[in-house]
Amino acid sequence: MDVNQAKQEHLLALKVMRLTKPTLFTNMPVTSEDRDLPGDLFSMLMKSDPSTIKGAEMVMLGEMLTLPQNFGNIFLGETFSSYISVHNDSNQVVKDILVKADLQTSSQRLNLSTSNSSVSELKPECCIDDVIHHEVKEIGTHILVCAVSYTTQSGEKLYFRKFFKFQVLKPLDVKTKFYNAETDEVFLEAQIQNITTSPMFMEKVSLEPSLMYSVTELNMVTSEEEGESTFGKMSYLQPMDTRQYLYCLKPKAEFAEKAGVIKGVTVIGKLDIVWKTNLGERGRLQTSQLQRMAPGYGDIRLTLESVPDTVNLEEPFDITCKITNCSERTMDLVLEMCNTRSVHWCGVSGRQLGKLSPSASMSLPLKLLTSAQGLQSVSGLRLTDTFLKRTYEYDDIAQVCVVCPFLSPES
Amino acid sequence: FTDSPVLTGASNPIQSPLVCQPSPSLSKFFADNGSTNPASDFFDSFTTSSFISVSNPNAESPTVAAPPERQLSSSGTTMPNQTHQDVTTPIFFGAPPMEGPTGASQPGLAEATPPFSKLQAVFSGSDDPFATALSMSEVDRRYDAWLPSEETRKVLISVATQQFNPMHVDKECITMPGLKFDNLQGDAVKDLMLRFLGDQAAAKRQVLTASSVEQSFLGLKQLISTKNWRAAVDLTGRLLTAHGQGYGKSGQPTSHTTDSLQLWFVRLALLTKLSLFQNAELEFEPFGNLDQPDLYYEYYPVIYPGRRGSMVPFSMRVLHAEMTQYLGRPQESLDRLHSMRSVCQKILDNLEEGLAEDGSMMNLTQENRQEVSICELWSCVCTLVSSIAQDFVLAVATYQSLVQYEPEQTVQLLSAIGRIFLQIGDIKTAEKHFLDVEKICQTKADGQPLHTAVMMNRAFLYLSQNNYAEAHTCFTNILKCDPKNPVANNNAAVCLLYLGRLKESLRQLESLVQQDPALYLHESVLFNLTTMYELESSRSTQKKQALLEAVACREGDSFNTQCLKLV
């Protein structure tokens, strides 16, 4: 990783150390009973060991912090922190030292030094220290370029550079899936996989909706005061583990009309993910704008504005349909209701609904009852456009759960 | 009374490894063949054999003017009083306590006593040594209680009913261990000295080896307490070889005693502490799952008449269970621990119903020792299912259940749980646990240690929030009340590095190491120091060599030289 460029013997030495979070020292305790050969030797040794927990020496996870021992991996979204030290290895005073640290990626070059002014003099055995931070925003090769320029006591101006190359890897694999509900709502399932080598705590996975939508997050179980995540106690993702998050997007009121006639690709929003690893090492990623292909609605789109989840057997219930004219021409619609084996419509079939202009919609309250228990599908609506004499069939527009409210025949 | 071992000086030549002598049966000595074997020989062998006598495991024998055919060891023993209520403290002759790890070798100081007075000292609680021996056997029963599996039980029953023919025993079900490697690689510190400091300096290194101590349990304990664990492993090898289970003996029929199993336990425990897990696994292998019939006392009715239970120390079972975790198979460790737990639970249930441990009828008066063993078991489970197992949910749940068993460790356990959550990255939950700790500490009056715990947790929380300045303040706050706290000192120095103050951090750690090497010449601190040396300049080798010199004066052969970063 360290490519030393200069062949000349320099008075100053540059050292770089990546500062990941420290780790907690762990012990390897061995128990032995007083009756055993070692007696209490092992436990005495543990008690006198400075790195054990006093009063609970068998606890492996100690409190001593150990500095990072290797570069480790670095992932997109994490913060790259590094200690940069310039040390005067010589026995003469060095003047006008300027230390610059740049990060070179495939697309840009960033200056990371916290100070850009030079240090007037550096005595022997002294050093200039800097800690740089940078939130990594690109995958692939990164090169940390450290340049040091200085003047010797005799007035000679010297300069050297060091290059440190490292790879930034992808931490998460994100897959999305859209579900279109019977209403205008769209459900987004986001599948997130941890492709790093250590466990991750997902602090936040939220969906930032685009202008047209408002979002309801469906990943918390709310009880009295506090909500608990649907993942319960498994608050972290092991390497290679996957997790699904669910969101419900509803078009905002002002866009409701437009939503009805959407064709093609629409932008739904983007996922904002924040995670933490060892001792709070943070990572943050946003996906690009997620897109959804609107399903083809044909000329007339029938959606449900309201429908109950559960209804009683043989009891009439109300639903409200919304009919949207998705075509370019005005329609004159007639509604027919056909009964199925289990669905029985109430009301007048064959009535005129009136004219509907392009992109306009109308609400249609209807009453029906079911004669069979269980999950029943609402079917049997027919809309006929009298202008073109074309009939559109609407079956399986919704499901209801039909239960029998009676416990016994007598009651 | 602390363990006061005695080094045999130049005047007493080192004894060759002793042959294991389990207590012989009486018939050997009270036979009708005349007086060629006087009864005193029986007692001699009882008390002068250097291996622990069956009836009194902690009786060490006195030095006696040795009759030519007997080998002796010197005296000086430790007697843990707290657990043996029905055993009287033996009188022993102490040498002054050990000075330092490679300290001055002390001349043999034990006084010679005739064997009979020693015997009476041991059994001085009652006039009748045999009654005392019988009452001690109840303690034995309690400690040795274990429930064998069905197959093992069948074999043991056939031994008891004398239907057992050792010629027909299935080789699969007996234990035939042997050393799997010859000698450990000596002293890593000395090797480094040879390489970096020269022959002369290396020659000055004084450390106890297997040959420089008495070839007995006593010598072994010396090597352990002075942290010369490699030498200790070598010594166990010699003693086991004397017992017939040396290098190359694996797979050959042998017999087991309490002593030989204790030797194996110590050997395997030390290999674990030295992180030589593969070696340990190799040598553990012939022991199967520690349930083979020849590991039970009932298998040896002649040598251990009337004694029941397992010869395998409970701690050896725990070690066996923990082993697989270190080899990367944590699930197996959990399985083994769970099966141990169910045996312990069964024994506890038997005791609670007024039966003996194995379910037979018995009169019991004293406290359930098995309860203690379950607690130990669970504390080991906790040590097990920590970060290495990476099953944090289970780790946390286990630590939480342990709080019930060890309420005096509540603060430490809750803090440990908090740290687990910090390692996962779940800062909020960690904070919750740290707040619980604060609440407990507020209700207690005891000042300093609790204050330290609270400050320590706060510091870790700040660290996790990238606030190294505040973390540093918390650590220095601890030092105001407890200036010698090594953890706070080390961690404060670590924070300084993250704040860009390398020189300051180095100076702090260096002065700690120089002023108090006993505390700070520790692996974890030295890793930090040498890492910073490397960051400071290209000429770090000199400074690391100075550390090597400091280490060479103090540390035994088990010191992890990797932390010096010289190679």
Residues of B within 8 A of A68 (CB-CB) are 531
Shortest Cα distance from A278 to chain B (angstroms)? 4
What pLDDT score was predicted for residue B358?
66
Residue B423 and residue A24: Cβ atoms within 8 Å? yes
B-contacting residues in A 242-271 (Cβ below 8 Å): none
Residue B315 and residue A51: Cβ atoms within 8 Å? no
Task: Pick B423's closest partner by Cβ from A54, A130, A278.
Answer: A278
Q: Is A403 on the interface with B (CB under 8 A)?
A: no
Of A2-6, A362-366, B49-53, which range is least confident? B49-53
Kindly state the average pLDDT of the residues B490-509. 95
Reduced 3-state DSSP string for chain A: CEEECCCCCCCEEEEEEECCCCEEEECCCCCCCCCCCCCCHHHHHHHHCCCCCCCCCCCCEEEEEECCCCCCCEECCEEEEEEEEEEECCCCCEEEEEEEEEEECCCCEEECCCCCCCEEEECCCCEEEEEEEEECCCCEEEEEEEEEEEECCCCCEEEEEEEEEEEEECCEEEEEEEEECCCCCEEEEEEEEECCCCCEEEEEEEEEECCCEEEEECCEEECCCCEEECCCCCCEECCCCEEEEEEEEEECHHHHHHHHCCCCEEEEEEEEEEEEEHHHEEEEEECCCEEEECCCCCCEEEEEEECCCEEECCCCEEEEEEEEECCCCCEEEEEEECCCCCEEEECCCCEEEEEECCCCEEEEEEEEEECCCEEEEECCEEEEECCCCEEEEECCCEEEEEECCCCCCCC
What pLDDT score was predicted for residue A258?
65
What pLDDT score was predicted for residue B137?
63
Residue A276 and residue B426: Cβ atoms within 8 Å? yes
What pLDDT score was predicted for residue A299?
83
pLDDT at B129 exceeding the cut of 90: no
Task: Pick B494's closest partner by Cβ from A22, A45, A281.
Answer: A22
Residue B273 and residue A130: Cβ atoms within 8 Å? no
Residue B425 and residue A280: Cβ atoms within 8 Å? yes
pLDDT at B200 exceeding the cut of 70: yes
Residue A60 and residue B387: Cβ atoms within 8 Å? yes
pLDDT at A179 exceeding the cut of 50: yes
Which amino acid appears at position B257 of this protein?
T
Task: Measure Cα distances from A370 to A303, A322, A353 in Å.
Answer: 20, 21, 24
Task: Pick B537's closest partner by Cβ from A42, A63, A87.
Answer: A87
Structure tokens at A30: 């061995």
Of B74-78, B285-289, B490-494, which range is least confident? B74-78
Decide: helix, strand or coil at residue B470: helix
pLDDT at B139 exceeding the cut of 80: no
Nearest CA in chain A to B535: A15
Of A140-144, A288-292, A382-386, B355-359, which range is least confident? B355-359
What pLDDT score was predicted for residue B136?
55
* pLDDT tier at B197, thresholds 50, 70, 90: confident
Structure tokens at B314: 């409970």
Residue A58 and residue B383: Cβ atoms within 8 Å? yes
Q: Is A240 on the interface with B (CB under 8 A)?
A: no
Which has more pLDDT, A311 or A251? A311
* pLDDT tier at B185, thresholds 50, 70, 90: low
What pLDDT score was predicted for residue B322?
84
| Residues whose CB is less than 8 angstroms from the CB of residue A143 and which lie 6 or more positions away in sequence, other chains included | A103, A104, A105, A163, A164, A165, A166
Nearest CA in chain B to A30: B269
Q: Is A129 on the interface with B (CB under 8 A)?
A: yes
DSSP bridge partners of A401? A310, A375
Q: How many other C-beta atoms lie within 10 A of the C-beta of residue A330?
A: 13
Residues of A within 8 A of B503 (CB-CB) are 126-127, 129
| Residues whose CB is less than 8 angstroms from the CB of residue B69 and which lie 6 or more positions away in sequence, other chains included | none
What pLDDT score was predicted for residue B67?
35
Reduced 3-state DSSP string for B130-143: HHHHHHHHHHHHHH
Task: Pick B383's closest partner by Cβ from A35, A40, A60.
Answer: A60
Distance in angstroms (rounded) separating the CA atoms of residues B299 and B301? 6
Q: A116, A110 in Cβ contact below 8 A?
A: no
Task: Pick A66's closest partner by Cβ from B416, B520, B528.
Answer: B528
pLDDT tens profile A213-225: 889 988 888 766 6
Residue A129 and residue B416: Cβ atoms within 8 Å? no
Highest mean pLDDT: which range of A254-258, A353-357, B150-154? A353-357
Q: Is A399 on the interface with B (CB under 8 A)?
A: no
Highest mean pLDDT: which range of A98-112, A208-222, B30-44, B92-106? A98-112
* pLDDT tier at A114, thresholds 50, 70, 90: confident
pLDDT at B442 exceeding the cut of 50: yes
Q: How many other C-beta atoms lie within 10 A of the C-beta of residue A98?
A: 18
Task: Pick A13's closest partner by Cβ from B82, B408, B538.
Answer: B538
What pLDDT score was predicted for residue A298?
78
Residues of B within 8 A of A87 (CB-CB) are 536-537
pLDDT tens profile B304-350: 887 888 889 888 988 898 888 888 887 888 788 888 878 877 877 77
Task: Pick B221's closest partner by Cβ from A38, A56, A282.
Answer: A38
pLDDT at B479 exceeding the cut of 60: yes
| Residues whose CB is less than 8 angstroms from the CB of residue B278 and which lie 6 or more positions away in sequence, other chains included | B327
Closest CA to A81 of A94, A95, A99, A68: A68
Nearest CA in chain A to B387: A61
The fraction of chain A above a pLDDT of 90, given in percent, is: 51
Of A280-289, A382-391, B443-452, B476-485, which range is least confident? B443-452
Q: Is A135 on the interface with B (CB under 8 A)?
A: no
What pLDDT score was predicted for residue B174?
81
Place of tokens 């010698």: B484
Residue B143 and residue A35: Cβ atoms within 8 Å? yes
What pLDDT score was predicted for residue B154?
81
Kindly state the average pLDDT of the residues B130-158. 71
pLDDT tens profile A192-247: 999 999 889 999 999 999 888 889 988 888 766 666 777 877 778 989 999 999 99
Residue A26 and residue B386: Cβ atoms within 8 Å? yes
Distance in angstroms (rounded) separating the CA atoms of residues A80 and B73? 62
Distance in angstroms (rounded) separating the CA atoms of residues B497 and B501? 5
Nearest CA in chain B to A283: B425
What pLDDT score was predicted for residue B43?
47
Residue A201 and residue B376: Cβ atoms within 8 Å? no
Closest CA to A100 of A19, A161, A167: A161
pLDDT at A136 exceeding the cut of 80: yes
Alpha helix positions (H), B127-211: 129-144, 150-160, 188-196, 199-203
Kindly state the average pLDDT of the residues B66-77. 31
Task: Pick A35's closest partner by Cβ from B57, B392, B487.
Answer: B57
Q: Does the predicted interface ipTM exceed a cut of 0.90?
A: no
Of A60-64, B124-128, B279-283, B291-295, which range is least confident? B124-128
pLDDT at A80 exceeding the cut of 90: yes
pLDDT at B487 exceeding the cut of 50: yes
| Residues whose CB is less than 8 angstroms from the CB of residue B545 and which lie 6 or more positions away in sequence, other chains included | B196, B197, B566
Q: Is A401 on the interface with B (CB under 8 A)?
A: no
Of A65-69, B29-33, B434-438, B459-463, which range is least confident? B29-33
Residue A35 and residue B83: Cβ atoms within 8 Å? yes
Which has more pLDDT, A201 or B22? A201
What pLDDT score was predicted for residue B299?
86
Which has more pLDDT, A296 or B380? A296
Segment B49-53 long-range contacts (CB within 8 Å, at least 24 positions apart) = B49/B18, B49/B21, B50/B18, B50/B216, B50/B217, B50/B218, B51/B18, B51/B20, B51/B21, B51/B22, B51/B217, B51/B257, B51/B259, B52/A37, B52/B217, B52/B258, B52/B259, B52/B262, B53/B23
Residues of A within 8 A of B2 (CB-CB) are none
Residues of A within 8 A of B376 (CB-CB) are 31, 33
Q: Is A278 on the interface with B (CB under 8 A)?
A: yes
Residues of B within 8 A of A22 (CB-CB) are 463, 494
The fraction of chain B above a pLDDT of 90, given in percent, is: 26
Task: Pick A65's closest partner by Cβ from B426, B427, B494.
Answer: B494
Shortest Cα distance from A168 to chain B (angstroms)? 21
Of A28-32, A140-144, B257-261, which range is least confident? A28-32
Q: B556, B226 in Cβ contact below 8 A?
A: yes
Radius of gyration for chain A, computed over Cα atoms and rounded to the nearest angstrom: 34
Rounded to 10°, the helix B468-481/B486-498 angle is: 160
Residue B419 and residue A54: Cβ atoms within 8 Å? no
Which has more pLDDT, A346 or B182? A346
Highest mean pLDDT: which range of B146-150, B291-295, B378-382? B291-295
What mean pLDDT, rounded, does chain B reach? Answer: 73
* pLDDT tier at B509, thresholds 50, 70, 90: very high
Kindly state the average pLDDT of the residues A162-187. 89
Q: Is A280 on the interface with B (CB under 8 A)?
A: yes
What pLDDT score was predicted for residue B321?
87
pLDDT at B99 exceeding the cut of 60: no
pLDDT at B78 exceeding the cut of 50: no
For an interface test with B, the pick among A12, A40, A60, A61 (most B C-beta atoms closer than 10 Å) comes out as A61
First to last CA, chain A: 83
Residues of A within 8 A of B275 (CB-CB) are 28
What pLDDT score was predicted for residue A257?
65
Residues of A within 8 A of B491 (CB-CB) are 63-65
Q: Is A51 on the interface with B (CB under 8 A)?
A: yes
Task: Pick B426's closest partner by Cβ from A50, A60, A201.
Answer: A201
pLDDT at B81 exceeding the cut of 80: no
pLDDT tens profile B26-71: 444 444 444 444 444 444 444 343 433 333 334 433 333 333 332 3
Nearest CA in chain A to B412: A56
Which DSSP letter does residue B226 get? T
Q: B385, B334 in Cβ contact below 8 A?
A: yes
Residue B528 and residue A40: Cβ atoms within 8 Å? no
Task: Measure Cα distances from A169 to A194, A338, B131 in Å.
Answer: 12, 59, 74
What pLDDT score was predicted for residue A184?
75
B234: left (phi over 0), alpha (psi -120 to 50) or beta: alpha
pLDDT at A159 exceeding the cut of 50: yes
* pLDDT tier at A82, thresholds 50, 70, 90: very high
pLDDT at B377 exceeding the cut of 80: no
Which has more pLDDT, B186 or A218? A218
Shortest Cα distance from B7 to chain A (angstroms)? 18
* pLDDT tier at B88, thresholds 50, 70, 90: very low
Task: Pick B522's closest partner by Cβ from A28, A51, A69.
Answer: A51
Which DSSP letter does residue B362 get? -
Q: Is A7 on the interface with B (CB under 8 A)?
A: no
Residue B158 has phi, psi (to 5 degrees) of -70, -30
What pLDDT score was predicted for residue B86?
32
Of A338-352, B46-60, B130-144, B213-227, which range is least confident? B46-60
